[in-house]
Amino acid sequence: MVRFVRSDSVVSRVITDETLIVPIRRGVGDLSSIYSLNPVASAIWNAIAEPRTQPEIVQSIREGFEETPETAGADVEAFLAEMASAGLVNVAEAGVAA
């Protein structure tokens, strides 16, 4: 089963209830590519501090927010796709290092 986890090539910080993600390129923060996350995206980011499957992530969002399964699923899918395409989230099969 596919698991998602944060990339090692990013730094994230919570500043005034806002999660900011900065990609690290060649050992330096890429300040032109800072990501600011809304509360749902921040919860997804926190959920993938450790490798998680998409259904596990959706469940954690449903527990923390009053979202329907469809809305939570769509939010998680969109976030993971965008973050993976930006290189901020790694994807791995179970039993394979991310």
Are 48 and 6 a contacting pair, CB within 8 Å? Answer: yes
More confident residue, 61 or 93: 61
pTM for this prediction: 0.84
pLDDT tens by residue, 19-34: 999 887 665 555 567 8
* CA distances to 5, 25, 26 from 44, in Å: 10, 23, 26
Average pLDDT, stretch 26-43?
Answer: 78
Question: Using 50, 70 and 90 to split pLDDT, how confident is the model at 4?
Answer: very high
What phi and psi, each to the nearest 5 degrees, are found at residue 32? -85, -5
**Statement: 2-93 belongs to CATH 3.90.230.10:** no
What is the predicted pLDDT for the residue at 57? 97
Q: DSSP readout, 42-81?
A: HHHHHHTTS-B-HHHHHHHHHHHS---HHHHHHHHHHHHH
What is the predicted pLDDT for the residue at 60? 94
